[in-house]
Every structure is written in C-alpha cells, then in structure tokens.
C-alpha cells in the first residue's frame, strides 16, 4: 500500500509530466505561451486538491486547447472517464466574462479582480450545468469545481470525445431527429431551467453514439431575467436554425423562438 501523501505526489508528478509533455508539443507547434498559463500555481493547487480527494486519479492528454479554457481527459474513481475544463486565469477575456456576470444576481457579490471573475465563471458553469441537467437537458454531468477547474463527465469513450455537431452532421442518418432534440433541449433549458445558453451553435453541441445532442460550454449561460437574455436567445436560435437549414432541415427562427418561449 502506498500511503496517501505518496499517492498524491505521484499524481502531481504525473500532472507535471503531462505539463512537460504539453510544453514539448507546444514547442513543436511553435507556441510557447500556453502551458505556463494553464498550469499556473493556483491551477496546480486546485488540481492537487481535487486529486487528494480521490476524484482525479490520473490526468490524461488535452482534448481541446482554446482561448478561454483547456479541456483534458482524466480518469476518476472506478476508471470512470472525466473531462477537466481549466479556465485560463491570465488570458481569459475578463471584460466579456464580467459583462455576463454583471446582471446575474447569483453573482452580485463577486469581487472584481480577474482571478475572482474567472473563479466565479467556473462556479457559474458548474451551476448552469446542474440546472440544465435537472431540467433534463443532456449536458455532461458536473462533478466538482475548484477555483478555475471544473470536473465533469466525459462525453466520449476511451479518451476519444464525441464529435461536435459541426462535424457529426455528415454522418447522421436522421438530422431531423437531432434537430428536434436540440429544440426540445433549448425549450427545457428556457422553460424549466430558466436559462439561455448564450453561446449555442454547432460548436457547442456534441453528438453522442446514440445520435443524441449534448449541450456543452455553459459558462456564459444566463438566467432568463438577465437583461440581455432575449438577445442571446435570439442569437442561439439564429445559429441553430441556420446550421440545420444548411443541413437540409426546414426550420424557421420565428417559429422556433415562439416554440421555446410559449
Ligand atoms: N464533457 C466533455 N466531454 C468530452 N469533450 C468535451 C467535454 N467538454 C468539452 N469537451 C471538448 O472540449 C472542447 C472545448 O470545450 P468547451 O466548448 O467547453 O470550451 P470553450 O470555452 O469553447 O473553450 P474555447 O472557447 O476557449 O475554445 C469542446 O469543443 C469539446 O470538443
Ligand atoms: Mg466551446
């Protein structure tokens, strides 16, 4: 038996090894700036604590590296696959985040340092996913968050994430069914969870192996009371309708908007 501190040390070593590996990959990609920002001290601490609770057993490779966040594959208790989303502290679009958090009474007390806003953002995504799930919208099950780190169910298998709707569409036998489910989820999100996704498009919907849509990326989602909720909803509807129209489904933004809000 290895005692716990040793185990945790092992986990951290593994994380650090992965970080090093990422550094190498970045070098190859001629991009030096990313890694130190992702695994800054606060992030490592948060990961360390999550590992020490046993929630993260091993950290895998990156699934996605983006502007606001990086998503990693990981293994949790019982070999369960996890997705770990790590928001960047230094390079996040602080101003945009702040605009979304302003106007959300749940976060009225958030102090205005960059770090605090990113932490609030992480918590907000966790809560939004929780609300969405309660309303029977398919989203990754949120498991835990800590500082800028969000741990959730991995949508995929054996380390391979399910494709984005954008890419899955060509192989779908019944696009109309995916469209209908998407609209149904938007409706549940609005009517039961009282949320608007606010960044919904073919880039934030995964399609699982049952050809079911899964909404992801809900940090920016807002309550329907948010002053800009209607504007965001219209934009979401516009994106979804445009995409499915191009995929051959006859959809009308006005009808969909009415369906969601009636
Ligand atoms: N739970 C999950 N299971 C599997 N893959 C996921 C999961 N969450 C996110 N991903 C993958 O990671 C990508 C980025 O995730 P997400 O959309 O939440 O971050 P993001 O905020 O868009 O990041 P950025 O905008 O900075 O690129 C997704 O497009 C998807 O491929
Ligand atoms: Mg996204």
Ligand number nearest CA of 217 is: 1
Nearest-CA residue for ligand 1 atom 1 is 154
Are 186 and 124 members of one domain? no
pLDDT in tens, 52-78: 999 999 989 899 988 889 999 999 999
Are 62 and 167 members of one domain? no
pLDDT in tens, 240-252: 999 999 999 999 9
Are 178 and 210 members of one domain? yes
Find the catalytic residue in 10, 104, 180, 199: 199
Q: pTM here? A: 0.86
Q: Choose one of 157, 179, 201: the last residue of a domain.
A: 157
pLDDT in tens, 8-43: 556 556 666 655 555 444 444 444 444 555 578 888
**104 catalytic per annotation:** no
Residue pair 2/10 in contact by the 8 Å Cβ criterion:
yes
Residue pair 154/83 in contact by the 8 Å Cβ criterion:
yes
Instruction: Give the number of domains in the chain.
Output: 2
Please report which residue ranges of 135-228 form alpha helices under DSSP H.
165-168, 175-191
Q: Pairing mode, if any, of strands 195-196 and 205-207?
A: unpaired
CA of 3 to the centre of ligand 2 (A): 39
Q: Tokens 């549940």 identify what position? A: 188
Are 212 and 256 members of one domain? yes
CA of 199 to the centre of ligand 1 (A): 12
CA dihedral 56, 59, 61, 66 (to 10 degrees): 60
Are 116 and 40 members of one domain? yes
CA of 6 to the centre of ligand 1 (A): 32
Are 106 and 177 members of one domain? no
Domain that residue 89 falls in: 4-157
Q: Choose one of 140, 157, 174: the last residue of a domain.
A: 157
- Count CB neighbours of 29 within 10 A: 10
């Amino acid at each position: 038996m290895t005692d716990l501190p040793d185990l945790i040390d092992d986990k951290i070593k593994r994380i650090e090894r992965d970080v090093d590996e990422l550094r190498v990959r970045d070098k190859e990609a001629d991009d030096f700036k990313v890694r130190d920002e992702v695994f800054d001290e606060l992030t490592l601490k948060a990961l360390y604590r999550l590992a020490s609770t046993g929630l993260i057993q091993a950290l895998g490779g990156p699934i996605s590296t983006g502007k606001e966040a990086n998503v990693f594959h990981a293994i949790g208790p019982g070999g369960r696959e996890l997705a770990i989303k790590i928001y960047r502290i230094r390079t996040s679009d602080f101003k945009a985040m702040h605009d979304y958090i302003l106007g959300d009474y749940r976060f009225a007390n958030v102090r205005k340092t960059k770090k605090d806003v990113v932490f609030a953002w992480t918590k907000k995504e966790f809560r939004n996913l929780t609300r969405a799930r309660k309303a029977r919208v398919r989203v990754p099950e949120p498991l835990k968050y800590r500082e800028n780190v969000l741990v959730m169910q991995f949508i995929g298998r054996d380390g391979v994430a399910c494709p984005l709707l954008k890419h899955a569409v060509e192989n779908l036998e019944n696009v109309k069914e995916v469209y209908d489910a998407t609209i149904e989820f938007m409706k549940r999100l609005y009517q039961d969870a009282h949320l608007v996704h606010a960044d919904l498009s073919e880039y934030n919907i995964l399609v699982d192996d049952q050809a079911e849509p899964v909404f992801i990326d809900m940090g920016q989602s807002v309550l329907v009371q948010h002053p800009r909720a209607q504007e965001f909803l219209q934009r979401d509807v516009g994106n979804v309708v445009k995409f499915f129209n191009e995929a051959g489904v006859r959809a009308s933004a006005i009808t969909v908007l009415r369906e969601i809000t009636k």
